[in-house]
Structure 1
Amino acid sequence: MNPHGRDALIARLSATPEWDIVIIGGGATGLGCAVDAAARGYAVLLVEARDFAAGTSSRSTKLIHGGVRYLAQARFGLVREALHERAHLLRNAPALVHPLRFVVPARTRLGRAALGVGLGLYDRLAAEGGVGRSVTLDPAGLHAALPGLRDEGLAGGMAYWDAQFDDAGLALALARTAARLGALVLNHCALSALVVEAEQVRGVRLRDTLSGREWTVAARCVVNAAGVWGDAVRRLADPAAVPSLRPSQGVHLVVDGDFLPGRDALLVPRTADGRVLFMIPWLGKLLIGTTDTARDDTPDEPAPLAGEIDFLLATAAQWLRRPPALADVRSVFAGLRPLLGGPGGGATGRLSREHRVEVSPQGLVSVLGGDWLLYTSPRPR
C-alpha cells in the first residue's frame, strides 16, 4: 500500500483513536501550525473539509510583503515582524518565493519625497533581511520602468523591493513537510462536531466527504484554524460565543501581460476608496487587485459583488496607457479575509490584518485573523 495514498491515510486515521493535537483547517494557518507542532514531536492530525488552501489561502494577491501601507498607521512592529518573516520565506522556499520590484508613481515632487521617507524607513525595518534598497525615479526612470504607465503629469516615483510567491504551491509544500515530520494531513475530511465532555473539548467527530465514512477521535488539544469559518467552529464549543471575525472580500482580475509591459509591479498609492491597488506580473499575465468589501456571509466559492470588477477596471484605466476592458479579463477570483472585528459597520479596510490566539473556557484553541506572511507566528497577542 502506498504510504502516502489516501487508503493508507484513512487506515492510519482509523487505527489512531487519540492524538496530541487535532488541527481544523488546511490553509496557511493550519498548515503552519501542523509543521510547527510535528517538528516538536507531537502526534498531529490535520483535517481539511475541501482541499488544501481551497479557500482564502490560494486566492491572495500572491505577495509576501511587509505592508507598506501600515507605515502610515505607525504600526512599525507589525511591519518589522512581517519583513522578518519575508526574509525567512525567501531563504527557505526560494523555488516558491522570489524578489519583485515595485514602482510607486508620484504626482508631485513633494509626494515623491514623502514616498522616499516612508520607503527608506521600510528598508531600515527590514534590516539585514532586506531584498534591495529603494531608489528614487525621475520621470524618465519611471517611464523606463513601466512603459505602459500613463505617466503624463507625474513627477517620477520610487522603486522598492518586496516578494512574490505561489500561494497554493507553498500550501502544498507545507502539507508535505508536515507529513514528512510525522503528521497525518488529510483533505476532504470535514469536522462534524466537537466532542465536549465535562464542559471541555476532548476530541472531534469527522466525516470523509468522499465516502461518507465517520470517525470520533480524542485529542489533548483541538486547534481551530478554519480561517473565515473560524466563528462557526467556535460556536460548536460554545453556541453563545460572540463573533470575533468580520469577513472581507478581495477580488482579483487577470488580464494579458502586455497591458503593463516590463518586469516591475505597479503599486497605486491611493484608490478612490482610500486603499492601495497592485498590478503585478504573474505567470505571463497581469494580476490586478484587490478590493476590500464587507460580507455578511461566508460562501465556499465567493464571487464578485456588484461593482467590484468595474472598480478594478476603472482604477486601472486611470493609470494604464491601454486600459483593459471587461472583454479583456481572462479570469476573476475572489477570496474572503478573516479580519478581526466581529459584526458591525465601518470600512473593513481599517480593520486589523493581525491575528489573535484565543483559548475558550472549553479549551478550544482558535487562531483568528492573520494572513499568509504571519502564518509562522500564531502566538497569543
Structure 2
Amino acid sequence: MNRDRLFSQLTAHSGPFDIAIIGGGATGLGAAVDAASRGHSVVLVEQSDFAKGTSSRSTKLVHGGVRYLKQGNVSLVLEALRERGLLVRNAPHLVHSLQFVIPSYHWWEGPFYGIGLKMYDALAGQLGLEPSRWLTRDDIIEQLPTLETKGLEGGIVYHDGQFDDARLAIHLARTAVNHGAIALNHTRCVGLMKENGHVVGVKAECVESGAQHEIRAKCVINATGVFVDDVRHMDDEKAARIVAPSQGVHLVLPREFLPGDSAIMIPKTDDGRVLFAVPWHGRVIVGTTDTPMEHATVEPRALPDEIEFLMTHAARYLTRDPRPGDVLSIYAGLRPLVAMKNAESTAALSRDHTILVSDSGLITITGGKWTTYRRMAEDVVDHAELIAGIGVKRCVTHELMIHGGDTLLDPRDPLAVYGSDAAEIRALMEKEPEWAGKVHPKLDLTCAEVIFHTRHEMARTVGDVLARRSRCLLLDAQSSMSAAPRVAALMASELGWDAATTAHQVERFQTLACGYILEA
C-alpha cells in the first residue's frame, strides 16, 4: 500500500468512479472493502490518518452490548453478536475471545445478570464464543486477585471479543486496496462537485502537497462520523444536524492493577453506564464515560469530571487505588450518536446506524459501532448501488478474510497483530540487524516496524506511527514522547524529510502527546 502509487492511479483513472467515500474510519473503510470486493471502482479520501478519530479510541471490545438487553433492544444485540462472530472468523489475527467477570456484591445480582447472560449466549447461536457460567467468591478472587473483596458474594463469567481498533482499520485499508480501491489518507474533502443539483464528485486536497483533485463519481458516501453534518452542509447549508456527539474517556494503567487474563465488567455505575477494566497489550484500560458534547473536535480531551469519575470507580473496585502518577495515558473519543427528539441524555440516543439520502443524492451514514462496521458497510453500499445505477452485486464480506488474517502467530508474539505481514517485518530485521532494536526501552515497537509502517502502511507522520500503526501513545504517552526523535529519524530516511521537517514532526507529536498525560 503505497500512497504515491495510489495518487498516480487516481490521476490516471478515466471517467467517474462508481463510488467515492469521504472518511477513513471504520465505516468508510468498511464501505471501501465492501464496494471494491463486489467489483466496483472505489476511491476514499480521509482528511487526517485512517482511524484518526473515534475509530482508534474505543474500549477495544467487539461485543453485542450486554446492557442493550436490559433496554429491550434485542435486535441490536442479535445483529452485533452475529457480526462479532464474523469478525472473529475473518480477522483472527486481530480479534480474539476475552473472559469478562461480573462481580456480585448483592445476593440478587447473580441470578439477575446470570439470566441475561444466558440469553446473550443463546442469541449468539453458532457464532457464539464460550458459554457464561457462575463463579464462587473464591473463584473470582483467584481470577481477579486485585478486585475489591469487601461484600463480594460471587459472580458470573462470560466471553466477548477484544481487538486492536486502529490496527484493524489499517488492515481494512490494505484489504480495500488489495481489491482495487484507492484509499488516500491526509487528503481532505474541500467541497462537493454538483451538476444540475446532483452530487457528481468530490473536490479533494492533498494535505502534504496542497495539490487539488476533482474526483468524479456516480455516487458519494459521507462516512465522516461525528463530522457528517459538516459534509452535509457542503451539500445543503440548511441541513439540520443529526449527530449529537458523546464523549467517552479511558484511563490506561500498568498491568499490575489487573493481572491475569480476565476483564472486569461493572453493569451499572453511578451514571448508569457500564464500566470496564480490560487487559490490553500489557496494560489495563479503564472506561468509559458518556458526556454530551456541544461540538466535535479532531483531538478531544478528557474533562476533569470524567477523569475524577474513572479514578473514583477504579478505586472502588480495585484493591489498589490508582493515583494520577499511575496513569500511563488518557484518551478521549467521540461517539456519533444519532439525535432523537425528547432524548434526555446521550445514553438514550440511538446506538444503531442511520443512512440518509439527500435530494442531491449524497448518501450519509452515521451511528453504529466498530462491532457492526461490516453490516453498516453492506447497507450503505446497497444504497449506493441503487443511487449510482451501477448494478446490484452480491456482498461477499461475510466470508472475506481481512488482510493478514491467513496467518496466525502465537498471541504472545509481539508481531501477532500483523498476521501474515509479520514475516516481512522479520525480513527487515534480518536485512538490517540494528532495526530489530526497540525505539524506546519501555515500548515494544521496533525500528523495523517503523520502516514497515512507512513503506507499506502509508504512515506519513510520527503520530501515524506512534498513535495508530503502533499503539504506543495510548499505552505510554511519556515514553512515546521520548521515542519520537528516533521514530522521526527512521521515517525521514524513508520519506526524504530534511532536518527542519523532521524537527517539526517531533515537536508536533510531542505537543499532541502532552494531552494524553495526566498531571500528577
The two structures have a TM-score, normalised by structure 2, of: 0.71
CA distance in 2, matches of 1:306, 1:345: 25
Q: Does 1:338 align with 2:349?
A: no
1:308, CA displacement in angstroms?
0.9
Structure with greater strand share of residues: 1
CA contact (8 A) 1:253 1:289 kept: yes
1:216, CA displacement in angstroms?
0.9
CA contact (8 A) 1:255 1:331 kept: yes
CA distance in 2, matches of 1:285, 1:202: 47
Q: SS in structure 2 opposite 1:168?
A: helix
1:11, CA displacement in angstroms?
1.5
Question: Which of 303, 306, 314 lines up with 2:304 in the alignment?
Answer: 306
* Aligned position for 1:94: 92
CA contact (8 A) 1:244 1:340 kept: yes
What are the residue-to-residue correspondences of 1:183-198 with 2, within 5 Å?
A: 183-198=181-196
* Aligned position for 1:135: 133
CA contact (8 A) 1:243 1:342 kept: no
1:7, CA displacement in angstroms?
2.1
CA distance in 2, matches of 1:318, 1:104: 14
* Aligned position for 2:162: 164
1:69, CA displacement in angstroms?
0.3
* Aligned position for 1:266: 264
Q: How big is the alpha-carbon RMSD for the aligned residues of Structure 1 and Structure 2?
A: 1.4
Change (3 A) 1:50 1:342: farther
Question: Which of 11, 21, 40 lines up with 2:8 in the alignment?
Answer: 11
* Aligned position for 2:228: 230
Question: Which of 349, 356, 359 lines up with 1:358 in the alignment?
Answer: 356
CA distance in 1, matches of 2:336, 2:279: 26
CA distance in 2, matches of 1:296, 1:266: 31
Unmatched segments (≥5 aa) in structure 1 = none
Q: Which amino acid aligns with 2:299?
A: E
1:191, CA displacement in angstroms?
0.2
1:345, CA displacement in angstroms?
6.7
* Aligned position for 2:485: none
CA distance in 1, matches of 2:342, 2:283: 37
Q: Which amino acid aligns with 2:272?
A: G
Q: Which runs of 4+ in 1 moved over 4 A?
A: 342-345
Bigger mean CA offset, 7-16 vs 197-206: 7-16
CA contact (8 A) 1:251 1:304 kept: yes
CA distance in 1, matches of 2:135, 2:231: 49
Question: Which of 240, 249, 252 lines up with 2:250 in the alignment?
Answer: 252
CA distance in 2, matches of 1:16, 1:50: 23
CA distance in 1, matches of 2:335, 2:329: 20
The two structures have a TM-score, normalised by structure 1, of: 0.97
Q: Does 1:202 align with 2:200?
A: yes
Q: Which amino acid aligns with 1:57?
A: S
Structure with greater helix share of residues: 2
CA contact (8 A) 2:340 2:349 kept: no
Identity of aligned residues (%): 49
Q: Which amino acid aligns with 1:197?
A: E
CA contact (8 A) 1:21 1:44 kept: yes
1:6, CA displacement in angstroms?
2.3
CA distance in 2, matches of 1:235, 1:16: 28
CA distance in 2, matches of 1:306, 1:341: 25
Q: Which amino acid aligns with 2:359?
A: P
Q: SS in structure 1 opposite 2:217?
A: strand
Q: SS in structure 1 opposite 2:300?
A: coil
* Aligned position for 1:59: 57
CA distance in 1, matches of 2:343, 2:298: 23
Q: SS in structure 1 opposite 2:140?
A: helix
CA distance in 2, matches of 1:349, 1:338: 12
CA distance in 1, matches of 2:308, 2:87: 34
1:344, CA displacement in angstroms?
7.9
Aligned length: 378
Q: SS in structure 1 opposite 2:18?
A: strand
1:346, CA displacement in angstroms?
2.5
1:89, CA displacement in angstroms?
0.7
Q: SS in structure 1 opposite 2:371?
A: coil
CA contact (8 A) 2:340 2:350 kept: no
CA distance in 1, matches of 2:119, 2:342: 34
CA distance in 1, matches of 2:256, 2:304: 27
Q: SS in structure 1 opposite 2:370?
A: coil
CA distance in 2, matches of 1:117, 1:68: 12
1:107, CA displacement in angstroms?
1.6
Q: Which amino acid aligns with 1:346?
A: E
1:66, CA displacement in angstroms?
0.5
CA distance in 1, matches of 2:143, 2:106: 18
1:108, CA displacement in angstroms?
2.1
Q: Which amino acid aligns with 1:128?
A: Q
Change (3 A) 1:236 1:287: same
* Aligned position for 1:155: 153
1:45, CA displacement in angstroms?
0.2
Q: SS in structure 2 opposite 1:19?
A: coil
Q: SS in structure 1 opposite 2:118?
A: helix
Q: Which amino acid aligns with 1:331?
A: S
Q: SS in structure 2 opposite 1:275?
A: coil
CA contact (8 A) 1:225 1:368 kept: yes
CA contact (8 A) 1:52 1:172 kept: yes
CA contact (8 A) 1:189 1:208 kept: yes
1:228, CA displacement in angstroms?
0.6
Q: Deviations over 1:83-110 (max 9, x none)?
A: 0001101111111000000000112222
CA contact (8 A) 2:252 2:283 kept: yes
Q: Which amino acid aligns with 1:120?
A: K
